[in-house]
Chain A
Amino acid sequence: MMDWRQERTAREARLERARRCADGKVVPAARVVDLLEAILQPGDRVCLEGDNQKQADCLARGLSACDPARVHDLHMVQSGIVLPEHLDIFEQGIAKRLDYSYSGPQGGRIARMLYGGQIELGAVHTYLELFARYFIDLTPNVALIAGVSADRDGNLYTGPNTEDTPTVVEATAFKNGVVVAQVNAIVDRVPRVDIPGDRVDFVVEADKPFYVEPLFTRDPGAVTETQILMAMMAIKGIYAEYGIRRLNHGIGFGTAAIELLLPTYAERLGLKGRIATHWALNPHPSLIPAIESGWVKQIHCFGSEVGMDKYIRARPDVFFTGSDGSLRSNRAFCQTAGLYACDLFIGSTLQIDLQGHSSTVTTNRVAGFGGAPNMGSDPHGRRHPSDTWMKAGQEAGGTGDPALRRGRKLVVQLVETFGDKLVPAFVERLDALELAKKLDLELAPVMVYADDVTHIVTEEGIANLLLCRTLDEREQAIRGVAGYTDVGRGRDHAEVERLRARGIIRRPEDLGIEPLDADRSLLAARSIKDLVHWSGGLYEPPAKFRNW
């Protein structure tokens, strides 16, 4: 007789062991280690919620305090490797195998540990990929998640940073897993139910509020004239040209400059309502002036941003908010939206090679991917047309019946030819290849593949790669905007001029851009304080961005 309920039985046993630590579902912070040691079994697949922004830090500290004799060889499946504890557990032997997406702040340490063999790496994913695998072959046995508050029945309020939580809980709770949530407070009634209580087994009242990093705040005071010049080129040469309404911006000062030029430069070009109306975007403070000037119809968010809560509450026509008034973000849905419903992704990178492959990897850091490869790729499953998508598809060429040709998503790399310390952004060979060799990875960590990139914008001009018909043209188009880097200086000048005549390369003067306009006075806000004023005092920047 086949036993079809082994997982269910195992779950009951875990809950039974854990009940002695809990009063109903509620567990005091002091008993976290006991709770985790009762629930976890060696070899479990565990999601320790580490999102792009929000961190289940109390549970992370608890896990790293577990006895490795009892809890060991865990297989961690989480999107973010952000806190030191996320890697400590591998050193302690508590965890052994890792599948993840993003490791920004821990990129250097994770590279050393991979190299030293302390981590058995499954793969580095994009967010959507990892989320997808939660439902196929990486389903967690235990999820350790974070929220703002919960009631005694386990109904959970995640607050504006919902992020990955619904996806993680969906995969765990409905497949016989155990869900433990840390919350800042146990309340009689939660402001809204983001996760229904029957999906949450235990609630831990954390010793301090969970940690959130302000990742998407760019101080307008640091935007340079070169970035303003590039932003003007992107607006005039791409946004206006293709009529881009639905879009996603990466983080970086270049995209912040675009956001800050919408109410000034783009307004002067008469583009209001014709571009940048519908967004998949975190609530960037630098978008406040555009929102306040009536540019933005709506924004769906991956997560929230520190200091933006009150502002978002006051603008429910623009943001997705709950019945309680606060933002509801959702990374999985927003990534899907960015992939299928946006016509443009624009972001920055650290290295681009002669074909157009780009990577943020340096030889000593494995920063992971996050969401950029999803946003920055052409979704072959897309079937709905838009003028932007169709125009890009036509530019890409092709043969046969036009009705059988698909459109193209615009994937734009916005890069200054030299980065910090005069490090060139254009290279003959990506450092990612070196890293892949060193760590014996099957795939080099490429952020955006060459065949997905449609345009490269630098301070020297725009290269439209859609219009290139041969690999050689493509290489010269890239060299032709690579400035005074070795790659740029290695250009064939005559060929670059021919590409310029065909509109494949366009210089600021070809676009009618006045160099004297590349001035900070063109920014709608020149400081964080300006953003506060634009928001009518609703934006509350974190202390490190204040000088008042």
Chain B
Amino acid sequence: METLRFRHATTRPLPGTRPSAITGVVASGNLEVLLERNLPPDACHVEIDTAINGYAEVWAAVVADFVARRQPGGLTITINDGGARPDTVSLRLAQGARLMELP
């Protein structure tokens, strides 16, 4: 197991008012993403518990791209990872951000 933490500054808050959302499930090749709106609008924190060690660099890149594309200001994102491929992680993050934007 490995725990990774990333702190990013964002230029704007993620739209919407939903306080939290959860998507995905912890299973082989899958992950769950819990999003909570509890930070200042210019900050996004991501914490990952992953079953597979040694991919910190890839996680950093996936998270940085997500933050750059979506600007998820105000969110704490916590991930339980069952060994998902980067594409699955990106998709879950995109889905989580969309859930937080829904009315």
Query: Taking beta carbons and an 8 Å cutoff, which residues of A are in contact with B?
Result: 225-226, 229, 416-418, 422, 458-460, 483-484, 489, 508-509, 514-516, 518
Query: Taking beta carbons and an 8 Å cutoff, which residues of B are in contact with A?
Result: 58, 61-62, 69, 85-88, 90-91, 94-95, 98-99
Q: Beyond A418-B85, A422-B85, A516-B99, is A229–B62 a contact (Cβ under 8 Å)?
A: no
A515 touching B98, Cβ below 8 Å:
yes
What chain B residues lie within 8 Å of A489 (beta carbons)?
61
**Contacts A229-B91, A422-B85 supplied; 10 other A-B pairs, CB < 8 Å:** A225-B88, A226-B88, A458-B87, A459-B91, A483-B86, A484-B62, A508-B94, A516-B98, A518-B91, A518-B95
What chain A residues lie within 8 Å of B98 (beta carbons)?
514-516
B69 touching A483, Cβ below 8 Å:
no
What chain B residues lie within 8 Å of A225 (beta carbons)?
88, 91
Taking a contact as CB atoms closer than 8 A, the residue among B58, B62, B95 that contacts A515 in the complex is B95
A418 touching B86, Cβ below 8 Å:
yes
B87 touching A460, Cβ below 8 Å:
yes
Closest to B95 in A: A515
Would you give 28 A-B contacts (Cβ < 8 Å), ordered by A?
A: A225-B91, A226-B85, A226-B88, A226-B91, A229-B91, A416-B85, A416-B87, A417-B86, A417-B87, A418-B85, A418-B86, A422-B85, A458-B87, A459-B87, A460-B87, A483-B87, A483-B90, A484-B58, A484-B61, A484-B62, A484-B86, A489-B61, A508-B94, A509-B69, A514-B98, A515-B91, A516-B95, A516-B99
A311 to B62, CA, bound (A): 46
What chain B residues lie within 8 Å of A417 (beta carbons)?
86-87
The smallest C-beta distance from A485 to any residue of chain B, in angstroms, reads 9
In order of increasing CB-CB distance, the 3 nearest A-B pairs are A515-B94, A484-B86, A459-B87
The smallest C-beta distance from B30 to any residue of chain A, in angstroms, reads 9
What chain A residues lie within 8 Å of B86 (beta carbons)?
417-418, 483-484
The smallest C-beta distance from B93 to any residue of chain A, in angstroms, reads 9
A460 to B89, CA, bound (A): 12
A416 to B86, CA, bound (A): 11
The smallest C-beta distance from B92 to any residue of chain A, in angstroms, reads 9
A418 touching B61, Cβ below 8 Å:
no
The smallest C-beta distance from A160 to any residue of chain B, in angstroms, reads 37
The smallest C-beta distance from B3 to any residue of chain A, in angstroms, reads 20
A458 to B85, CA, bound (A): 13
Chain A CB count within 10 A is highest, among B69, B85, B88, for: B85
A422 to B28, CA, bound (A): 13
The smallest C-beta distance from A230 to any residue of chain B, in angstroms, reads 9
The smallest C-beta distance from A224 to any residue of chain B, in angstroms, reads 8
A459 touching B95, Cβ below 8 Å:
no
A484 to B64, CA, bound (A): 12
The smallest C-beta distance from A6 to any residue of chain B, in angstroms, reads 63
A489 to B62, CA, bound (A): 10
What chain B residues lie within 8 Å of A483 (beta carbons)?
86-87, 90
Closest to B86 in A: A484
Closest to A507 in B: B69
What chain A residues lie within 8 Å of B90 (beta carbons)?
459-460, 483
Taking a contact as CB atoms closer than 8 A, the residue among B62, B87, B91, B95 that contacts A418 in the complex is B87
A186 to B15, CA, bound (A): 73
The smallest C-beta distance from B68 to any residue of chain A, in angstroms, reads 10
The smallest C-beta distance from A318 to any residue of chain B, in angstroms, reads 35
The smallest C-beta distance from B72 to any residue of chain A, in angstroms, reads 13
A261 to B28, CA, bound (A): 25
The smallest C-beta distance from A510 to any residue of chain B, in angstroms, reads 11
Closest to A225 in B: B91
The smallest C-beta distance from B23 to any residue of chain A, in angstroms, reads 9
A521 to B86, CA, bound (A): 22
A286 to B94, CA, bound (A): 28
A508 to B98, CA, bound (A): 13
A489 to B94, CA, bound (A): 19
Closest to A226 in B: B87
What chain A residues lie within 8 Å of B85 (beta carbons)?
226, 416, 418, 422
Closest to A489 in B: B61
What chain A residues lie within 8 Å of B91 (beta carbons)?
225-226, 229, 459, 515, 518
A422 to B85, CA, bound (A): 7
A458 to B98, CA, bound (A): 21
The smallest C-beta distance from A438 to any residue of chain B, in angstroms, reads 30
What chain A residues lie within 8 Å of B58 (beta carbons)?
484
What chain B residues lie within 8 Å of A229 (beta carbons)?
91
What chain A residues lie within 8 Å of B69 (beta carbons)?
509
A225 to B95, CA, bound (A): 11
The smallest C-beta distance from B57 to any residue of chain A, in angstroms, reads 8
What chain A residues lie within 8 Å of B88 (beta carbons)?
225-226
A226 to B87, CA, bound (A): 7
The smallest C-beta distance from A479 to any residue of chain B, in angstroms, reads 13
A460 to B86, CA, bound (A): 10
What chain A residues lie within 8 Å of B87 (beta carbons)?
226, 416-418, 458-460, 483-484
The smallest C-beta distance from A246 to any residue of chain B, in angstroms, reads 31
The smallest C-beta distance from A233 to any residue of chain B, in angstroms, reads 12
What chain B residues lie within 8 Å of A226 (beta carbons)?
85, 87-88, 91
What chain B residues lie within 8 Å of A460 (beta carbons)?
87, 90
Closest to B29 in A: A224
What chain A residues lie within 8 Å of B94 (beta carbons)?
508, 515
The smallest C-beta distance from B27 to any residue of chain A, in angstroms, reads 12
A484 to B90, CA, bound (A): 10
What chain B residues lie within 8 Å of A459 (beta carbons)?
87, 90-91
A36 to B95, CA, bound (A): 64
The smallest C-beta distance from B53 to any residue of chain A, in angstroms, reads 13
A417 to B89, CA, bound (A): 13
Closest to A458 in B: B87
Closest to A224 in B: B88
